[in-house]
Structure 1
Amino acid sequence: MNSSVFSFLSDFVFLLLLFIQIPSSLSNDDRYTACRKDFVCGGGIPVGFPFWGNGRPSACGIPELELKCDHEKNITTMNINKVAYRVLEINPEFKTLWIAREDYLAGLCPPQFPSSTFNPKILEPVEGIRNFTLIYGCEDAPKTIPGPRTFNCKIKDVDGQSGYIKEGVNGPGECNRSVIVPVSDFPPWNTPVFEWNVETLKGQLKTGFVVRWKVNMDLCGECSTSGGVCGIVNDTNQTTCHCPDQSSGSKPCAPPAPTPIPPPGMHSPPEISL
């Protein structure tokens, strides 16, 4: 190939790659503009920090609090410790999330069997939550378990294996798997224990439960008052204040520099027309 043609093509490719990368780098640096956008899905309440996702980059929220939006169904979901949850309500005033496990919305036989766990530094169940254990893959349910609390599921491609429900946090015992699920402690769970059954639990799992996010929002109030927007530093996951001048830091945004006023008696010289 002619050296001049090769040189021209090399320069062209370099310039093309440069222009492709510039918008990306600018969007990453422009955290203030990006984090000013709220997360909105369907008719839900717009939310900002500590959440991110759906147009809000990771610098806008806590890593564990990514929200996803199914725009066709207007459904908000999130993953917490490898478990998918439907977000039913977000209350920024009380810092609470009302969530329900996606895998149990269709019944008690999910394809995977992870228990519900939470990072205590980020999320905590509110008062009024009760844990139940779903136990799977038993040859026979214990005779001490009432019939209304037993069910059948396919485990490891084996049909008709028995499962049963126990209140509290329990292991699988002689069975195959156990899954711990929290439910809200409101009716019918305030009825006598002997009255609840499998159908009751199915309904409660669809109703969901409430957790509270444990994120210090003190800086965010000062940041917002100063004209900034709250976010995090990706490398350290520390709360920071993104400012209109695109700077970030642990303090509120600095006020704009005042416009200098000339001292009395000093005026701009008159224009001289020629």
Structure 2
Amino acid sequence: MNNNLFPPLVLHYMIFTLFFILIAIPSSYCDDELYGACRNPFPCCGLNLSYPFWGGERRPECGKYEFKITCEEDLPPIMEIQSQRFHVLGINTTDQTVTIRKDPPWNGTSCPERSTVSISFNRFLSNYSSNVRNLSLFYSCTEESLSGSNNYTCQQGDKDREGFYTIDDEPKYFPNHTDTVTCIEVTKVPILLTALDKINYFENLERLRELLAMGLEVKYEAENGLCSACQSSRGTCGSTNAGEFVCFCRDKPYRHACAGMHALPTLCLTDISFRCIYSNFALV
């Protein structure tokens, strides 16, 4: 018998046994806590929300502090940024846009004013998207100017006002005799152009009410470029307690993107991963 065979056989057996012990460690034991907490969207009033939005049972580290969402039963989610309150009607994380409506919304009876429906921009809400246009509301017009199809009557104080509306640079919508318009006053309010395909055509004030209730599409700024790089490295986006961007990865948080093995696809066997366990939370 060749005694030289015994040590390699024992060694192979030990390696084989160790391998199966390691792959039996559940993946949840290996994942960083915040990576596991923030990697999946959370449901809120019919929307699935992810970075930079957080709220309810979703931890603040999973988003940006300013984008807290309050979930209310049977109502659209509420977001408050710098003393502005909004109903959140839709979110597109690919284009980094959010469809929002002021809270409280326009009451649908008084004559609309820009301040009642427009958004005050800041470093978080940067601008309207390309889907937003100005709706021009004409008042104090001659009878000839009111002969079109988009006339309506609204209330200003205790008086009724007659007017009509058109959309700037979009003559195919709401055509009126704008080439012969003689009006003393015009008010411009932003609207969501794509909402026109969704509204029903009722009496003109009702149509206007439904159009303005669709909200406005606004670009948001939450270090979106950093988040894209983080996600490309198989991380999930979040922030530190100080508000700085952080990329949560399987092993630990990184400042911008996951590094090393944790930026590569994970080899799994029957939903069990073979990975190392890390406890270091320091950012690198």
After superposition, give the CA deviation of every residue in 1:163-200 in whole Å (9 maximum; x if it has no partner).
787889xxxxxxxxxx97421235869xxxxxx95443
1:243–1:38 Cα change, 3 Å: same
Query: Which one of the candidate residues 237, 247, 256 is aligned to 1:250?
Result: 256
Q: Which amino acid aligns with 2:37?
A: A
Deviation (angstroms), 1:81: 4.6
After superposition, give the CA deviation of every residue in 1:223-259 in whole Å (9 maximum; x if it has no partner).
3454532112342x33221234444423424547x87
Is structure 2 residue 192 aligned with structure 1 residue 184?
yes
Alignment correspondent of 2:129: 126
Deviation (angstroms), 1:95: 2.6
Q: Secondary structure at the match of 2:211?
A: helix
Q: Which amino acid aligns with 1:184?
A: L
Q: Secondary structure at the match of 2:37?
A: helix
Which region of structure 1 is more displaced relative to structure 2, 47-56 or 220-229? 220-229
Alignment correspondent of 2:271: none
Query: Which one of the candidate residues 215, 218, 238 is aligned to 1:211?
Result: 218
Alignment correspondent of 1:232: 239
Q: TM-score, normalised by structure 2?
A: 0.53
- Distance, in Å, in 2 between the alignment partners of 1:239 and 1:75 is 28
1:63–1:124 Cα change, 3 Å: farther
1:234–1:131 Cα change, 3 Å: farther
Deviation (angstroms), 1:49: 1.2
1:35–1:253 Cα change, 3 Å: farther
1:129–1:43 Cα change, 3 Å: closer
1:205–1:92 Cα change, 3 Å: same
Q: TM-score, normalised by structure 1?
A: 0.54
1:164–1:247 Cα change, 3 Å: farther
Alignment correspondent of 2:44: 41
Structure 2: segments with no counterpart, 5+ residues: 1-31, 168-186, 198-202, 263-274, 277-284
How many positions carry a matched residue from both structures?
A: 203
Tell me the C-alpha RMSD between the 2 structures.
4.3
1:188–1:40 Cα change, 3 Å: closer
Q: Secondary structure at the match of 1:100?
A: strand
1:255–1:74 Cα change, 3 Å: farther
Q: Is the 8 A contact 1:69 1:76 kept in 2?
A: yes
Q: Is the 8 A contact 2:88 2:99 kept in 1?
A: yes
Which region of structure 1 is more displaced relative to structure 2, 99-108 or 142-151? 142-151
1:218–1:129 Cα change, 3 Å: closer
Q: Which amino acid aligns with 2:191?
A: V
Deviation (angstroms), 1:32: 3.2
Q: Is the 8 A contact 2:154 2:161 kept in 1?
A: yes
Q: Percent identity?
A: 28
Q: Secondary structure at the match of 2:122?
A: coil
Alignment correspondent of 2:74: 73
Alignment correspondent of 2:98: 97
- Distance, in Å, in 2 between the alignment partners of 1:200 and 1:62 is 36
Structure 1: segments with no counterpart, 5+ residues: 1-28, 135-140, 155-159, 169-178, 190-195, 260-274
- Distance, in Å, in 1 between the alignment partners of 2:117 and 2:214 is 19
Which region of structure 1 is more displaced relative to structure 2, 141-150 or 75-84? 141-150
